[in-house]
Structure 1
Amino acid sequence: MATAGGGACKFAPLFRDALRASRRVELEPVREMRAMVDGLLVLAPPSSTGMDSTGGTDQCFQQDIFTINEDGTTASRPWPDPLFPLILVIMGTGVSILRVDSGAPGDFVRVGGTACGGGTFLGLARLLTSATSFEQALDMAAEGNASNADKLVSDIYGDEGCSNLGLPGNLTASNFGKLGEMNCPRCDEKDLARALLQMVTQQSVLLGSAYARMAGCINRVFFAGGFVDEKNQIARTVRQGMCSVLL
């Protein structure tokens, strides 16, 4: 049985005890980051990874990457050509950012990350709202308005100032910035959940973008992990169309 993640180490003795009756079952830990990279490369067309030694074509490969538009609809994207180097942002409890340099086994490096991830969203959501689970917090966020808590660029400069600066007025200037004002508008827990979800997502987008610029691959940023799965449509749209999502 192949296992990955923190639980593969922390709970390994429990698994062994539970499976002791079947002597043919053994745990085989795998390195999580290596598994994520390998999974991406398995989905990619062989010619993109340099592993197409059969002389065949890529037509049998299904389209596995897409972006999420602002209206929540999906839009298929072709695999980048060239594919490498690429940035892979893995969003789970925390966030790890990998630079993958080729399709060769192990040819990647963790270039950074942040502790502001899915665990942050759930922990603060339970503190700030009545949500007790990730799903409940997402449901709240879906009905909230982050601008009731976040200070936007337009709140600081006004519409004319934003035009002079060349910045969109709806750009977040300060996460939860309005909560520090004496005349702060009334926020409910749904607004707080939405603002929190956007804050966590924006951190990873900004970091992923920065590392991609350093690597010269701004058009080759992939997001993966439990935080951006099918249930979390909002986090996917917050990425503002700058990256591809890996299923």
Structure 2
Amino acid sequence: MIESDLSSISDIDQYHDTDLNLSSTSSNNSSRQNSIYRHNHCNNQKPLNVSNSHIVNDKDQYESKLLPETLDISLPNHSMKNINEISIDIGGSLAKLVYFTKDPINLNGVRLNFYKIETEKIEEFIQFLKNIILTHYNNSDQSPVIIATGGGSHKYYTKLSNELNCKIQREDEMQCLIIGLDFFIRSIKNEVFYYDDLNNKYIDIDKSDDQINDISSTSIYPYLLVNIGSGVSMIKVTGPNEGNFERVGGSSLGGGTLWGLLSILTDSNSFDEMLEMASTGNNENVDLLVGDIYGRAYNKIGLKPNHIASSMGKVFKDVIDSTNEEGKPLTREERLNKFDQGDIARSLLYAVSYNIGQIAYLQAQRFNLKKIYFAGSYIRNHNQTIRTLSYAINFWSQGDKKAYFLNHEGYLGAMGAFLMRRNEEEDLSTNNILHDTTTPSN
């Protein structure tokens, strides 16, 4: 886990030489080929030179001398030559973008840049795209292509095509998620981590250079991907090839549920404010605990006194038994003011996260999967969310399964789309698409 990205939670087939800068860091054909990332999840894959790739977590490595909200990934041995694809993933809540820029430190290499904004601000998102195209993609012989995924790639297709005046190539959402996760797992050091509850710390899953991009390795399979955005999708992945994945379940109770409830019950105006509010709250003031019912632990079934028996379970009794200064039942506003907003935020964060964790465990148990990767904009590298999901998986599986997380957890779809090649056979004027199959997306 990258410290600088989580400063608030410190307590716990073929490739083409013309496309790639194959540097002298590779001493022979074997090492040279191993530096080229390729996946087999689709036919139109785009290779990347991932030799010495790394997350840029030093502020001095940025021109602004400030760390961005999402850290860049440096590909120091990949050339910017003939780069003309940009990828976007427009979901129900957030629009995400992945694009290349020249590396200001390693001048022969490039960086993967990441950007996100609320989907409701689509005009601002499109203007940002225009600026990126003008600044970084204006020197190619070919016009840039926007490779798009997510529900918004369909909803805003005409708008994007007209305002950006370039080809929009839509790709399957689930496929992009799997490709993006595959890239992050196999190619980027210190991208994946897990939470060690016993020692209250995060542990990076480091990789040796030999492990990076070992396409023959099947050690990462099988696994369950739990992608949490507005809703939840759960995808079983059994191998590295096209068709080796299946959406096995999901839930409508996801990030959108938490955001919606807290936007009504608290004064917060953004999800980040909600998470900050939750970090200051005490859910025991509103949740009904095992200790509240039994007066102690229920050791026979492994329940501690502070285990939640009913989320928000204390609220009803406290409200019904209360009157205002005039001896009348509390008004709606008085009811809300009776409880600390941080307590409510923390309780609902736990409720949604535990629910997702339990469903994820049941799906993993159903298919005998030991590894569960949690991703999506809901997580945001937030301490309580990560700990809650980790605890849920460990508790229900009795340590038999493990929850894993990623530093770029919100960009799997956009990254997967970025790794698709532009479809050269389609003409801009036709406005055709490569894939137009809508994938169930909660």
- TM-score where L is the length of structure 2: 0.48
State the distance in 2 between where 1:228 and 1:166 align. 28
Q: Which amino acid aligns with 1:115?
A: S
In the alignment, which residue of structure 2 is the partner of 1:39? 180
Q: Summarize deviations over 1:113-171 as a string: whole Å, max 9, x none.
A: 11111111111001111112112111111111111111122222222x52233222222
Task: Give how far 1:78 is off.
Answer: 6.3
State the distance in 2 between where 1:98 and 1:220 align. 12
The number of aligned residues is: 225
The answer to whether the 8 A contact 1:85-1:215 is kept is no
**Given the alignment of the two structures, is residue 204 of structure 1 paired with residue 356 of structure 2, yes or no?**
yes
The answer to whether the 8 A contact 1:72-1:233 is kept is no
SS at match of 2:203: strand
State the distance in 1 between where 2:228 and 2:155 align. 20
Q: Which amino acid aligns with 2:300?
A: N
In the alignment, which residue of structure 1 is the partner of 2:317? 181
**Given the alignment of the two structures, is residue 63 of structure 1 paired with residue 197 of structure 2, yes or no?**
no
**Given the alignment of the two structures, is residue 171 of structure 1 paired with residue 295 of structure 2, yes or no?**
no
Task: Give how far 1:90 is off.
Answer: 0.1
The partner residue of 1:150 within 287, 297, 300 is 287
In the alignment, which residue of structure 2 is the partner of 1:87? 224
The partner residue of 2:387 within 232, 237, 242 is 237
State the distance in 2 between where 1:61 and 1:227 align. 22
Percent of pairs identical after alignment? 29
Q: Which amino acid aligns with 1:245?
A: F
In the alignment, which residue of structure 2 is the partner of 1:221? 372
State the distance in 2 between where 1:4 and 1:61 align. 22
**Given the alignment of the two structures, is residue 120 of structure 1 paired with residue 248 of structure 2, yes or no?**
no
Q: Which amino acid aligns with 2:290?
A: V
In the alignment, which residue of structure 2 is the partner of 1:134? 271
Q: Which amino acid aligns with 2:406?
A: L
SS at match of 1:244: strand
State the distance in 2 between where 1:81 and 1:155 align. 48
Q: Summarize deviations over 1:46-84 as a string: whole Å, max 9, x none.
A: xxxxxxxxxxxxxx8523211135587421246898432
Distance 1:214 1:92, change over 3 A: same
SS at match of 1:239: helix
The answer to whether the 8 A contact 2:218-2:240 is kept is no
SS at match of 1:2: strand
**Given the alignment of the two structures, is residue 191 of structure 1 paired with residue 343 of structure 2, yes or no?**
yes
Q: Which amino acid aligns with 1:175?
A: S
The answer to whether the 8 A contact 1:118-1:227 is kept is yes
Q: Summarize deviations over 1:171-213 as a string: whole Å, max 9, x none.
A: 22111111122469x5311100111111111111111111111
Give me the CA root mean square deviation. Answer: 2.3
**Given the alignment of the two structures, is residue 18 of structure 1 paired with residue 163 of structure 2, yes or no?**
yes
Q: Summarize deviations over 1:5-60 as a string: whole Å, max 9, x none.
A: 1211111111112123xxxx211111222111111222334xxxxxxxxxxxxxx8
SS at match of 1:245: strand
State the distance in 1 between where 2:308 and 2:247 align. 28
SS at match of 2:225: strand
SS at match of 2:309: strand
Distance 1:69 1:181, change over 3 A: farther
The answer to whether the 8 A contact 1:77-1:244 is kept is no
SS at match of 2:167: coil
SS at match of 2:247: strand
Q: Which runs of 5+ in 1 are unaligned?
A: 46-59
- TM-score where L is the length of structure 1: 0.83
Q: Which amino acid aligns with 2:195?
A: I
State the distance in 2 between where 1:203 and 1:153 align. 17
The answer to whether the 8 A contact 2:189-2:206 is kept is no
Distance 1:81 1:15, change over 3 A: closer
